[in-house]
Structure 1
Amino acid sequence: MRILVVCLGNICRSPLAEGLLRHHLAAARLGHRVEVDSAGTGGWHAGEPPDRRTIANAAGHGLDITALRARQLRDADYHEFQWLLCADRANLAEVRGRAPVDAPARSALLLEWAGLGQGAEIPDPYTGGPEAFEHVWSLVDRAAQAIVQRLADRTRAIDA
């Protein structure tokens, strides 16, 4: 399975989700079965590392995301990934609006797909302080754990 996490600039929410999903997938020994990447609907930060505050917040929890680099969503993503999981409704609308007609990828809100609430969104912490980044960590970590559990259950069913 291939999952792409999408937010606005790919420097706060989506790289954190990418890092957390990879971490929890590896811990569950599913890293070889699920590929995770992230992108932004905008390209302003392409090639840049995650926001320094996101890096600091992740590091405070023992997660190193310094090697990740921002990139913009591209048409090929709709063919290379099965799921495009979006941070908020604006990102979801943008992702769906840009989808090529023949795109097989499906899109959804990340928190909703994780089972954490109908219409649940991850707020953008960019203009907030440390508490905003910590809140995003909490939401995304819970979502990543729930997604890994969902995929582990599916894998067990397939392997049975």
Structure 2
Amino acid sequence: MRVLFVCMGNICRSPTAEGVARAIRARRGLVEQVDIDSAGTHGYHVGASPDSRSTATAKRHGVDLAGLRSRQVEAADLDRFDLVLAMDNANLEDLLALKVRHGGPAEIHRLLDYAGGGEVPDPYFGAGDGFERVFDAVQRGCEALFDDIEARLRPAD
């Protein structure tokens, strides 16, 4: 199973989701069964490390974002990944438009569709606890996502 998390610039929400998903994958013993990556719908920050506020928030929760670098989503991702998960409706629309133009078998959803719906808010220009809210939403979404992945990976009786 191959999973791609997508936000706008790939420096706040989607790298946080990638880091959280990697931690959950390890805890659930699925390192060999699940590949994880992240990307952005825009190329504003290609090659950049995650935002320092995302990195600090993740670190407080025991999640390491070191080594992650921003990249822009590309049409080939819709062939490479089984699940492409948008952080919000705007990202979802961009991904669905890419799929219309280029095709590909990837399923495209919002991450929080696995946890009752909603969007992961963009904390980039905000203040206060925005990055904590992102982490909490991503954690909730990724736990529910991995419940779904485990069900998909179970052999049929």
TM-score of the pair, normalised by structure 2: 0.94
Partner amino acid, structure 2, of 1:47: G
| In 1, Cα distance between equivalents of 2:132 and 2:22 | 19
CA shift for structure 1 position 38: 0.4
* 2:111–2:145 contact (8 Å) kept in structure 1: no
Structure 2: runs of 5 or more not aligned: none
Partner of 1:150: 148
Q: Deviations over 1:126-152 (max 9, x none)?
A: 011240000001010111111112222
| In 2, Cα distance between equivalents of 1:49 and 1:66 | 8
Q: Deviations over 1:23-44 (max 9, x none)?
A: 1011100111011100000001
CA shift for structure 1 position 155: 2.6
Structural mapping, 1:52-63, within 5 Å? 52-63=52-63
| In 2, Cα distance between equivalents of 1:54 and 1:79 | 29
Q: Deviations over 1:95-127 (max 9, x none)?
A: 111224431112111100x2x224x10000001
Partner of 2:3: 3
Secondary structure in 2 aligned to 1:54?
A: helix
* 1:20–1:144 contact (8 Å) kept in structure 2: yes
Partner of 1:126: 124
CA shift for structure 1 position 3: 0.8
RMSD of aligned Cα (Å): 1.3
Partner of 1:136: 134
Partner amino acid, structure 2, of 1:107: I
Partner of 1:42: 42
- Report percent identity of matched pairs: 42
* 1:53–1:130 contact (8 Å) kept in structure 2: no
**Which has the larger displacement, 98-107 or 135-144?**
98-107
Partner amino acid, structure 2, of 1:11: I
Secondary structure in 2 aligned to 1:39?
A: strand
Secondary structure in 2 aligned to 1:4?
A: strand
| In 2, Cα distance between equivalents of 1:102 and 1:55 | 34
Structural mapping, 1:5-24, within 5 Å? 5-24=5-24
Partner of 2:108: 107
Partner amino acid, structure 2, of 1:55: T
